[in-house]
């Protein structure tokens, strides 16, 4: 018997079994892998080898791998599959993964794949596709386990054994009466109770739920704050789905990527799937906006050339300080808005204003001392102090206010704050030096 030590050897023997047509040996090793490793192996294969792999595993087994692919990859793979194999693969996808897959298509193109589903699943998927993007309804799954208040622990455990394979999670059992959610019981509680205990006697009736139109970011915060493995989604008290912790992790990744793009002013142009034209359009549009703002300090410098030496010395220093302060304020403001919404604005403004006053005084004093050492001019040192303090305060206020004022992400970004700070610094310095 061969002892396999690492992934390279494992993938080598998998490829060898596949090449030699050794289906039993291939399945014995391949199906013990985690789906992520299975997907990594598939990425290593050429089209001919992939076609052989599809024959070695069933559509149901392949569906778990298929669900982990990017939408663009899924479409390419479906073109490789035989029609019946593709139909069975799509049918085997969990409802929420099927919705994720179809959401990438236009409404007309969805019909091709919807026809591959049986009537029951097709109706569920169509219903879920009707929910707004980035809502709890759009990311929930409809595969969960329910019980009635009268059922005993023995009856529920029997039901879990029968239906658990098709559920997204079995840790929570949702208690439903006349289609209304009335409680929840953890599997742990069921196992620890006596056989005769009913769900009504052990269920928690004070539950945390969300409506189907709740924003997915709110769902993320609830799951995180309450340490939930799954969160019930209701419509007028009726349980329509659950959002599991793995769905929330996907949301976290999406939101983080979106925030990163907005901070860099390239939201919508980060993914490799975005073409050159789209990426260029997004970036160029923002750069042209910032170019217009940048013309302001250029014009001021042009008309005040007599102070050019002083401007050249101190604009970079003051602008750098102000830009950093503004960026820090922006980051804090985005964080508070994300966590507390508008409710935390007053507290944030008070805290950051106090902080900006201290930072402004310290920074302005240091730069003023530097100007005195260079020019030996008390008036200039006082002017530099005033400009530095003013630039820091204004940049801090702008950074704090931007997330609450602008809806366009192009204006709520670190580069935007830096551009505004440069313009403010130059304008302030020239105005003060003119007196």
3-state secondary structure 298-354: HHHHHHCHHHHHHHHHHHHHHHHHHHHHHHHHHHHHHHHHHHHHHHHHHHHHHHHHH
Query: Among 44-48, 98-102, 267-271, which stretch is predicted with the lowest mean pLDDT?
Result: 267-271
| DSSP characters over 362-427 | HHHHHHHHHHHHHH--HHHHHHHHHHHHHHHHHHHHHHHHHHHH--STTTSSHHHHHHHHHHHHHH
Residue 10 CB: number of other CB atoms within 10 A? 17
**Residue 110, CA atoms < 13 Å, CB-side half-sphere:** 15
Q: What percent of the chain has pLDDT over 70?
A: 80
Q: Is the pLDDT of residue 164 over 70?
A: yes
Read off the pLDDT of residues 183-209 as tens digits, 9 standing for 90 and up: 999 999 999 999 999 999 999 999 999
pLDDT at 421 (0 to 100): 74
Q: Is the pLDDT of residue 403 over 50?
A: yes
107 to each of 42, 101, 133, how far by Cα in Å? Answer: 30, 12, 14
Residue 423 CB: number of other CB atoms within 10 A? 19
87 to each of 92, 98, 122, 162, how far by Cα in Å? Answer: 9, 12, 13, 25
Q: Is the pLDDT of residue 231 over 90?
A: yes
Q: How confident is the model at residue 269 (pLDDT cuts 50, 70, 90)?
A: very low
Read off the pLDDT of residues 373-395 as tens digits, 9 standing for 90 and up: 877 888 888 888 888 888 888 88
Does residue 222 sit in helix, strand or coil? helix
Average of per-residue pLDDT across 322-329: 82
Average of per-residue pLDDT across 249-260: 64
pLDDT at 280 (0 to 100): 56
More confident: 108 or 172 = 172
| Tokens (6 digits) for 127 | 């219903």
Rounded distance, CA 131 to CA 233, Å? 12
Average of per-residue pLDDT across 155-179: 91
- Which phi and psi angles does 211 have, rounded to 5°? -80, 160
For residues 98 and 126, the answer to whether their CB atoms sit within 8 Å is: no
Q: Is the pLDDT of residue 411 over 60?
A: no
Rounded distance, CA 179 to CA 355, Å? 54
Q: Is the pLDDT of residue 1 over 50?
A: no
Helix, strand, coil share of the chain (percent; to 5)? 70, 10, 25
234 to each of 30, 238, 257, how far by Cα in Å? Answer: 40, 5, 28
Q: What percent of the chain has pLDDT over 90?
A: 29
Average of per-residue pLDDT across 112-118: 79
Q: Which residues partner with 204 through β-bridges? A: 184
pLDDT at 21 (0 to 100): 92
| Tokens (6 digits) for 239 | 């349980």
Rounded distance, CA 22 to CA 52, Å? 11
Q: Delineate the domains of the chain, giving CATH numbers in brackets.
A: 7-133 (1.25.60.10), 146-254 (3.10.580.10), 276-434 (1.10.357.20)
pTM of the model: 0.59
For residues 174 and 147, the answer to whether their CB atoms sit within 8 Å is: yes
Q: Is the pLDDT of residue 113 over 90?
A: no
- What's the chain's average pLDDT? 81
Average of per-residue pLDDT across 202-229: 90
Average of per-residue pLDDT across 229-238: 93
């Amino acid at each position: 018997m061969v002892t396999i030590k690492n992934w390279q050897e494992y993938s080598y023997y998998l490829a060898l079994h596949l090449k030699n047509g050794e289906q039993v040996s291939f399945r014995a090793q391949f199906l013990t892998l985690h789906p992520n490793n299975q997907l990594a192996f598939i990425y290593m294969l050429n089209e001919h080898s992939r076609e052989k792999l599809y024959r070695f595993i069933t559509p149901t087994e392949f569906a778990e791998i298929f669900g982990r692919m990017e939408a663009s990859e899924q479409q390419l793979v479906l073109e490789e599959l035989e029609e019946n194999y593709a139909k069975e693969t799509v049918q085997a996808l969990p409802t929420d993964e099927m919705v994720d897959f179809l959401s990438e298509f236009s409404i007309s193109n969805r019909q091709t794949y919807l026809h591959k589903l049986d009537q029951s699943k097709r109706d569920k998927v169509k219903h879920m596709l009707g929910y707004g993007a980035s809502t709890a309804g759009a990311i929930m799954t409809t595969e969960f386990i329910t019980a009635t208040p009268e059922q005993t622990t023995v009856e529920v455990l029997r039901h879990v054994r029968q239906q658990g394979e098709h559920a997204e999670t079995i840790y929570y059992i949702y208690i439903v009466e006349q289609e209304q959610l009335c409680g929840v019981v953890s599997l742990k509680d069921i196992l620890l109770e006596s056989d005769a205990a009913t769900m009504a006697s052990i269920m928690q009736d004070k539950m945390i739920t969300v409506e189907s139109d709740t924003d997915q970011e709110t769902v993320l915060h609830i799951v995180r704050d309450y340490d939930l493995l799954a969160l019930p989604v209701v419509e007028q008290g009726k349980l329509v789905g659950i959002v599991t912790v793995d769905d929330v992790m996907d949301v976290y990744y999406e939101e983080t990527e979106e925030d990163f793009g907005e901070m860099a002013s390239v939201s919508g142009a980060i993914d490799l799937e975005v073409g050159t034209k789209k990426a260029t359009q997004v970036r160029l549009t923002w750069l042209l906006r910032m170019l217009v703002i940048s013309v302001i300090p250029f014009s001021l410098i042009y008309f005040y050339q007599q102070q050019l030496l002083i401007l050249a010395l101190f604009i970079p220093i003051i602008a750098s300080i102000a830009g950093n302060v503004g960026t820090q304020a922006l980051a804090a403001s985005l964080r508070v808005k994300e966590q507390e919404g508008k409710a935390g604005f007053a507290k944030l403004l008070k805290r950051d204003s106090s902080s900006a006053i201290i930072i402004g005084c310290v920074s302005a004093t240091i730069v003023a001392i530097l100007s005195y050492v260079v020019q030996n001019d008390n008036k200039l040192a006082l002017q530099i102090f005033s400009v530095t303090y003013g630039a820091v305060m204004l940049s801090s206020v702008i950074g704090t206010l931007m997330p609450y004022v602008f809806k366009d992400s192009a204006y709520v970004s670190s580069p935007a704050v830096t551009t505004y700070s440069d313009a403010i610094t130059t304008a302030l310095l020239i105005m003060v030096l003119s007196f």
